[in-house]
């Protein structure tokens, strides 16, 4: 079973502001987001890792980069992507305070 922790120092994630992505340098793995509510909300709509690189924690590195960015810029995250809502946040509950609240979400 791979945890991905052994690779963490080697993984470089780049913020592609124009395309609203966090991605690997080769652009093959990425996390796609949309900005909502005048730029105050980061809606993470999709995460993709090529099948040959799955299960190594790469999506987790992408998510950490996105959540760090959101926190540093006072953005709240909408976890539309199931990887974020069902896997990343439950496994990393310390990021829960950065999530947008469900109650407010329905009024967007
Ligand atoms: N939704 C939620 N969780 C998922 C998932 C999905 N569609 N696909 C895989 N996972 C979970 C698995 O439970 C896995 O856990 P395990 O390692 O204990 O088996 C965990 O993700 C792996 O985490 P990590 O190594 O950080 O992810 P990854 O680098 O393998 O990438 C995806 C995960 C989802 C980005 C990758 O499988 C992928 O690109 N899938 C196709 C696109 C997709 O379904 N994206 C998510 C919906 S937007």
Instruction: Please tell me whether residue 34 adopts helix, strand or coil conformation.
Output: strand
Indicate the Cα dihedral angle 85, 58, 54, 23, nearest 10°.
Answer: 90
Length of the chain: 108
Predicted model pTM = 0.90
| pLDDT tens column, 61-105 | 999 999 999 999 999 999 999 999 999 999 999 999 999 986 655
| pLDDT tens column, 20-66 | 999 999 999 999 999 999 999 999 999 999 999 999 999 999 999 99
Ligand 1 pocket at CB < 6 A = 4, 46-49, 54-60, 81-83, 86-87
Q: Which residues are catalytic?
A: 81
Residue whose CB lies within 8 A of the most ligand 1 atoms, among 54, 56, 57, 91, for a mutation test:
54
């Amino acid at each position: 079973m791979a945890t991905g922790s052994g690779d963490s120092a080697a993984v470089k994630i780049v913020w592609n502001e124009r395309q609203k992505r966090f991605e690997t340098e080769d652009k093959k793995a990425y996390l796609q987001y949309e900005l909502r509510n005048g730029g105050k909300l980061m809606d993470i709509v999709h995460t993709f890792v090529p099948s040959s690189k799955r299960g190594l924690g790469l999506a987790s590195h992408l998510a950490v980069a996105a959540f760090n960015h959101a926190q540093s810029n006072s953005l709240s995250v909408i976890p539309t992507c199931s990887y974020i809502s069902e896997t990343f946040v439950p496994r990393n509950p310390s990021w829960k305070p950065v999530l947008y609240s469900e109650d407010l979400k329905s009024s967007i």
